[in-house]
Chains A and B, each alone.
Chain A
Amino acid sequence: MRRTDIRRLAPIVLLTFVVSSCAAMQQTYQENPKAVLGGMLGAGAGAGIAALAGASPGVIVASAIGGALLGGFIGNKLDDRDKQLASQAASRAFEQNRTGQANVWNNPNSGNSGSVTPTKTYQLANGQYCREYSQAIVIGGEQHQTYGTACRQADGTWKVQS
């Protein structure tokens, strides 16, 4: 393949990956809309609590990450410190880690632990970065696995999409 051919091919390849990522998110919603909506509601509730407490915008966004990360059944099983540690680990993983590199958190007081691992990185047409991730949380010795996508906001924080 000649150089000019590849230059023509590259945007197509790139577009394919971006579209496939969006399609995967849509598929997740179609397969389990309650899970997606539950995550969104969890994020909203977390942000609301932080706002009521008079938190700064940065803190509010961080709480939104935690809420979406840990909504539903898993979130109910974690205490506030667990959620804080999980949110911090996720933010660091999204911002700094290469794909496949996990950030681990552990709360000795609750005995719970977890990890967040970016599994795929892509960029939207507007230049915004998004990262798919897997999350493992061990509660009472039982491991729970979740998956999602987070996108970097203009202020440097990350927002979980699903």
Chain B
Amino acid sequence: MRLILLSVLTVGAGVALSGGVRAEDQGAGYDPRQAFAETDTDRDGEIDLAEFHARVVDVFYIADTNKDGSLSPEEYQRLPFSADFKNADINGDGKISLHEFVANRFLQFQAADTNHDGELSLDEVLTAYKGRTKK
């Protein structure tokens, strides 16, 4: 579960990848508040499912460096705090489709949504971030 929370931070908080793998995406210099602000595009103080989904797709697109529509093990492992590839590869075809990626990230969204209101608050994101840094 801790790994899941870490990944939520990475993607759900909008950390993820942007224009390639940035230093802050690898952990160093990462500002969860800034990442939250980037993902909360309607500026209502919560990351809802639509904002989360948009970010996840964006992360997938940037991570798919050869733009073949899926993530190879190498592309997937470049994502910070990625879950085990075999676990993420639901159909076992050796690559992560967007469908599989979204499914996994929505699991992580649910895990971080501790008050179960269907949205991620900054507090929930920061809590997940603290869990990451304690690891």
Contact = CB atoms under 8 A, between A and B. Distances in A.
Do chains A and B interact in one complex?
A: yes
B99 A127 contact: no
Interface string A97-118: 1111100000000000000000
A127 B70 contact: yes
B42 to A, nearest CB: 13
Interface string B43-71: 00000010001110110111000011110
A35 interface: no
Given A13-B106, A98-B17, A98-B62, A156 B99 contact: no
A120 interface: yes
Nearest to B90: A7
A10 B129 CA distance: 24
Contacts of B90: 7
B69 A123 contact: yes
Nearest to B61: A121
Contacts of A141: none
A140 interface: no
A74 interface: no
22 contacts: A6-B103, A9-B106, A13-B49, A14-B102, A95-B67, A96-B19, A98-B19, A98-B58, A98-B62, A99-B54, A99-B55, A100-B38, A100-B41, A121-B57, A121-B58, A123-B60, A123-B98, A127-B70, A128-B69, A129-B67, A129-B69, A152-B67
Interface of B: 17-20, 38, 41, 49, 53-55, 57-58, 60-62, 67-70, 90, 98-99, 102-103, 106-107, 110
